Amino acid sequence: MPLILLTGFPSSGKTTRAQQLKEYFSTVVGKNVVLLCENDVVKNKQIYSDASKEKELRSTLKSEMQRLISQDDILILDGGNYIKGYRYELYCSTKSNKTTQCTLHIDTSSEKAWGQNMKREETCQYSQEIFDALVMRYETPDGRNRWDAPLFTIQPEDELPFESIAAALYERKAPTPNQSTQSLPLTSTNFLYELDCVTQEIVNRVVEAQKTCVVGDEVSIPNSNEKFLLKRRYQLSELSRIRRQFISFAKTHPVDDIPRLAAMFFQYLTSHLV
């Protein structure tokens, strides 16, 4: 089922928009609509103050999304989805399932969102500390990124562009799965060795380049035509953490084209670095 991914600040009005979308696609378009809502999973907002529990929440939602997705009916994922790396992973899931998706950014200001939060029942409210932390960590979607496109930015006073959203889902060809999204058998016996070497070489290249380059310079990536833009100084611990995450991801999405590993890791690295 094509995916509609909602993203925005906490209490920005995502669930209201999700219900409007569900009603339109079920009554006007005549599609079966499944609404996967983060709030149905989160019973206590304090979960957002615990990094491990929050990560578990994202994993739960992603697994449920992968279980539900198909090429016919509509799946609406109503949640913060504020980490661009997480949105990239969801994009890979839709791509591997050969279905389309679009992103709706509910662009409510933090001040208005906080006001809406305070109107909720006390048990459903975010605390000031958690609300501020989520707003600060929010990574605004960018329509130039393929994992955020097509992107619809919705202001509080806007009517939803239902027909344009429907066209984005049903009149557009789904992206073709490639090595970075297809779950292929491990045909190469040295895949894990190559995976380790290629990713470590790229991390080493970025670390070494920072000794002689300045912020704004581009760094050539080994085994790839890509160039890495140094937007700031990156710590080895940060790069190594993302490398470990990619290795775990690649183990479940192995490829039989070793040269593609460098490009895959480059894409993953740039999508996870702020």
Secondary-structure class of domain 3-170 per CATH: alpha beta
Name, in order, each residue with C-beta under 8 angstroms of 57's C-beta and a sequence gap of 6 or more: 38, 41, 42, 47
pLDDT of 184 reads 41
pLDDT of 251 reads 77
Helix (H, G, I), strand (E, B) or coil at 178: coil
255 pLDDT band, cuts 50/70/90, is low
Name the token pair of 224.
Answer: 């790839």
Q: Where along the chain do the CATH 3.40.50.300 domains lie? A: 3-170
Q: Check whether 182 has a pLDDT greater than 70.
A: no
Strand 3-8 vs strand 227-229: parallel, antiparallel, or unpaired? Answer: unpaired
Rg of the chain over all Cα atoms, to the nearest angstrom: 20
Partners of 206 in beta bridges: none
Q: What is the mean pLDDT of the chain?
A: 87
Place of tokens 């895959």: 264
183 pLDDT band, cuts 50/70/90, is very low
pTM of the predicted protein model: 0.67
pLDDT of 187 reads 44
pLDDT of 159 reads 95
Instruction: Give the tens place of pLDDT for each residue, 156-181.
Output: 999 999 999 999 999 888 877 654 44
User: What whole-number distance in Å separates Cα of residue 180 and Cα of residue 103?
Assistant: 21
Section 107-122 average pLDDT: 94
Length of the chain in residues, anyone? 274
Angle, CA 140 vertex, CA 99 and CA 133 arms, to 5°: 120
